Structure 1
């Protein structure tokens, strides 16, 4: 019995040993095969880092403001009898916009003029009588006061009549009218907006660390979404002397020519302040830069055992210009940089460079016409 049990145990151990040995041999062979395999090179496109002289800029987003802009309002109560403008029309300074009913004031003016005429005659008589001591000095003073009072009443009535004839205070374009003929206006009621937009202002802000680079007279380049293929040139007119408490930014105002009045107050605009002098920078397509919370980097094509491999390089990026971006630090002229395919790369990844089809990169790209 013991011999049979021992024989069975020996056979079982031999079978299990053979199985485990075979598996171990398979694992060793698989590891050897994996070690012998080489990773498939990642297909990428590349571009050479080129050196160019760029006029450096400071970019911001701002809002366009009218050179002069108001809401025309009534200074006095009255009923509208005439509207002398069309919505959206251009008006000159002094043009009549609205006239109100002046019948009561006109009649009152004639009454005051008659009173003033009588007061003037009484004053002349009082002066003549005073020369002969036929009246008192108090009588003469009363006559002079009555005459002055009558003159003041005339001036006040004329001022009221003038306020009932509302005119444009400056040349500009009138907005959509908000009143109608026959409407009764209260004091402060709005008639329409009036905007002078040539030139036009662009208000924007920049971080306080840029103060040393800024000055009035610097050129700015402005673009708006409504006209993506146009660039509007202007100059910084004013710099606010106070830094904003909330954002610690410096507020600036630029003036732009707007002869054709295509720019409107309230538009958002991208503003680039052009700094004096040119700076030599390394230029790459914008697609070459890999952005991450730890910093910006590019992949440079290096060599390992005679084959191209990826080398990660941390860089400091500068301003953009269309499809191009400037590299201020971390890259040398002439180095070959990966522009497409970085998502598949790690430091040391094998590369296969294929530049048969390379997207165009332009500092001033334009949309493709269909």
Structure 2
């Protein structure tokens, strides 16, 4: 009897143990599932940190201008008699471009030349007669003064006639014609622009602190948005000896060879001047750095401790967690930022999607969409 009761008690105990053990296991599984629901893995993009060479640069913006450039206009008024060029022509120095009606001025010049010739004859006669004392010295001096006056008037009128012909003061390319045949134009009326494009200047300003880092002859590069994939190489031509007292900036002029005439006067240009020796820094996209009130941070992806060597215990994909790291950043260039402290080469860093992360958050890596990571990003209209 006692033996039967003992066996029964053992069986009942085993049953209760099985029931309570199952409930405990069930509770643990539910708790683990709820924890998974509370902290689902966040999808992020990552990049492997690496060092890149960094060259310190001075950056400035400026405007292009031709070595020689002028808007041609007449010095005197008149009616356009002839036009000897087409818009966009390339002309040589001295080429005749426009003629103004000058018939009246030429007739007046002929009259003055006749008076000059008569004055020359009178003075020549006086010179011969003066040798025989046939005339007084005063008479000869008076006729000489008359001759010189007539010569001056002829020269003045010749200059006036010359003003009626507008010529190219230097070789270059003409712009668009601004006057028409038969049009009356006043002094200063624009006729056409003439630009010599073989050599182009870029004028820009730098703060006075940069004066110690630049010198005449130093290499510079320039870019214009017209040709986003091209760089133009030049050198510093001159540094203004006067610093602007209001802005504390100094004007600098660089010169660029322009054989293809791609650079035109008036363009907006960005100028880079390399200074100092190149350095090597760990480089990340700017999106990888998260700014908050405590400082700059980045998230480094580590293997999850729940799985051996990052393997899911159930044989699934690797599990990862994001570890928060404080960083110290340096200079930026385009989409890139130099990291001085906090990240080592080879670290896998979250580059996008970190706005929902905290220290220890589980993450899922998806690098199908890459983040901008160019030192010289280009503006696209797409």
TM-score, length-scaled by structure 1: 0.80
Counterpart for residue 350 of structure 2:
338
Q: Check whether the contact 2:47–2:349 (CA below 8 A) recurs between aligned residues.
A: yes
Q: Equivalences for 1:186-335 in 2 at 5 Å?
A: 186-290=186-290, 297-301=297-301, 308-320=321-333, 323-328=335-340, 331-335=343-347
CA distance in 2, matches of 1:256, 1:303: 54
Moved more, 67-76 or 283-292: 283-292
SS in structure 1 of the partner of residue 72 of structure 2: strand
Alpha-carbon distance, 1:291 to partner: 5.3
Quote the offset at 1:302 in angstroms.
6.4
Distance 1:367 1:270, change over 3 A: closer
* Residue number in structure 1 paired with 2:363: 352
Aligned partners of 1:221 and 1:271 also within 8 Å: yes
- In structure 2, the residue matched to 1:98 is 98
Q: Given the superposition, is the C-alpha separation of residues 88 and 42 from structure 1 closer, same or farther in structure 2, using an over 3 Å criterion?
A: same
> Equivalent residue for 1:153?
153
Question: Do the aligned partners of residues 109 and 179 (structure 1) sit closer, same or farther apart at CA in structure 2, a change above 3 Å counting?
Answer: same
Preserved contact between residue 57 and residue 274 of structure 2 (Cα < 8 Å): yes
Correspondence 1:40-189 to 2 at 5 A = 40-189=40-189
Change (3 A) 1:254 1:300: farther
Q: CA deviation at 1:63?
A: 1.9
Within 2, Cα distance between the matches of 1:159 and 1:64? 35
Instruction: Supply the distance in 2 between the matched residues of 1:86 and 1:293 (Cα, whole angstroms).
Output: 65
2:19 corresponds to: none
**Secondary structure of the structure 1 residue equivalent to 2:205:** strand
Q: For the structure 1 residues 87 and 297, does the alpha-carbon distance in structure 2 shift closer, same or farther, using more than 3 Å as the test?
A: farther
**Displacement, 1:40?**
3.3
- Supply the distance in 2 between the matched residues of 1:116 and 1:292 (Cα, whole angstroms): 91
- Deviation (angstroms), 1:143: 0.9
Shift of 1:303: 8.3
**What is the distance in 2 between the residues matched to 1:90 and 1:202?**
23
Question: Which residue is 1:12 aligned to?
Answer: none
Secondary structure of 2:57's counterpart equals: strand
Could you tell which deviates more after superposition, 113-122 or 325-334?
Answer: 325-334
User: Cα distance 1:294–1:79, how it changes in 2: closer, same or farther (>3 A)?
Assistant: farther
1:41-63 residue CA offsets vs partner (Å, 9 max, x unmatched): 43323223222223322222222
The 8 Å contact of residues 46 and 353 in structure 1, kept in 2 or not, is answered as: no
Distance 1:289 1:261, change over 3 A: farther
Deviation at 1:367?
Answer: 9.3
State the alpha-carbon separation in 2 of the partners of residues 238 and 208 from structure 1: 15
Give the TM-score of the pair, scaled to structure 2: 0.77
Pick closer, same or farther for the CA change 1:105–1:85 going to 2, 3 Å: same
CA displacement, residues 90-141 of structure 1 (integer Å, 9 cap, x when unaligned): 2221111111112122222222222111111111121222222222221111
Match of 1:13 in 2: none
Residues in 2 aligned to 1:59 and 1:96: alpha-carbon distance in whole angstroms: 44
- Preserved CA contact (<8 Å) 2:45 2:370: no
> Mind listing any 5+ residue stretches in structure 2 that lack a counterpart?
1-30, 307-319
Q: 1:329 to 1:79 in 2, by over 3 A?
A: farther
Name structure 1 gaps, 5 residues minimum.
Answer: 1-32
**1:16: which partner in 2?**
none
Shift of 1:309: 3.2
Query: Structure 1 pair 88/289, CA: closer, same or farther in 2 (3 Å)?
Result: farther
RMSD between aligned residues? 3.1
**Inter-CA distance 294–190: structure 2 relative to 1 (3 Å threshold):** farther
User: Contact (CA 8 Å) 1:310, 1:349: kept in 2 or not?
Assistant: yes
Instruction: Name the CA distance, whole Å, in 2 between partners of 1:69 and 1:292.
Output: 53
Aligned residues: 336
